[in-house]
Chain A
């Protein structure tokens, strides 16, 4: 199905931001907001306990985060944030259009 995705016209120039999620596990109270609303489903609840006895989130898909900061903004405990990593992969990771009769 991915071959039918639209390819942005500026895909060769724009590099999608790439982020890294940092979790302050001991501040977390396990409300699951970040896990529920992450648009890339980067996070999942961990089976481990933190110092308070809650399950903090953990990163299950590395390299997918786009540093949108939604987890950071929605976290009521100020326990998670993202940093933009300098070595962003180029947009070539996007699927190329393979529609017939259309020049790539």
Chain B
């Protein structure tokens, strides 16, 4: 049964993702079995369920496979320089505080090249939602060793196995001060959607890591099969433990993947602290940024 075989349906029913996608760019470039499309779908459903005005949502992404999401989503999207998605989003949020600024990008982009920006955005508690798609490698450039490649996993620059200790991303974000930290895999579609929806309601630096398969590089170089075999591995080895210590969330090669919402607390955001501090120090001389921005226009 295909839509082509049912022209009456094809005309009246469209895919529910159509309002969220730039359909002239579909089909996308992601490989068969890649998990990024699933994450984009979950992100769009979370936006739909949360009922946010889509004109006030912007997506910022960096370079890499996951960096393409900003181009496919029919939202205000920005495709920035490698690793600089968070600095760009910082400026966007401070200049237009009314916007819901989200960062969708990969592990190599956000914690490899842009690791410094990541920890400092978490430390300052900037009001951003960061969805990090972790495929354990630099996918677009050919499977080089990344900051999250597990110990002993092979990559194209470590053909005899990786000996560098990888980042434990929830622990990194939590210890840098992020008030919302979660991890899911691309198999946990319902929980991921719910988690993004919950994070959209929170304030501050919200960090969600999504472990996703990279069948063409990470899985092929490690002889782990295709995307669906990886999804079976997530099914067998993912353990959901909400509120667990993020220090326990390190991922070993083919080991357990600890999932869940690890941190969910409240902390004053960067803008709130700035407004409060300058309000105290400068008094009426301090003019906070208006919600719709506009201080840069010649007013």
Contact = CB atoms under 8 A, between A and B. Distances in A.
Partners in one complex: yes
A22 B13 CA distance: 9
A74 B32 CA distance: 13
A26 B21 CA distance: 17
A104 B38 CA distance: 44
B41 A36 contact: no
B103 interface: no
A74 B17 contact: no
B1 A22 contact: yes
Contacts of B31: 29
Interface residues of B, number: 36
Given A27-B26, A27-B27, A31-B32, A73 B1 contact: no
B41 A76 contact: yes
Interface stretch (B108-116, B226-234, B275-283): B226-234
A23 B190 CA distance: 21
B189 interface: yes
Interface in B205-235: 226-228, 231-232
A74 B2 contact: no
B16 A74 contact: no
B231 to A, nearest CB: 6
Nearest to B13: A83
Report which residue of B34, B37, B187 has the largest number of chain A beta carbons within 10 angstroms of its beta carbon. B37
B30 interface: yes
A66 interface: no
Contacts of A24: 2-3, 15
Given A22-B3, A37-B231, A77 B42 contact: no
Interface in A1-39: 21-27, 29-33, 36-37
Contact of B26 (A56, A58, A78, A81): A78
Contacts of A75: 37-38, 41
B30 A76 contact: yes
Nearest to B5: A25
Given A36-B228, A37-B231, A76-B30, A25 B189 contact: no
Q: Which 9 A-B pairs have the closest CB atoms?
A: A76-B37, A29-B32, A73-B189, A31-B33, A32-B228, A25-B2, A78-B17, A31-B32, A76-B38
Interface of A: 21-27, 29-33, 36-37, 54, 56, 58-59, 70, 72-78, 81, 83
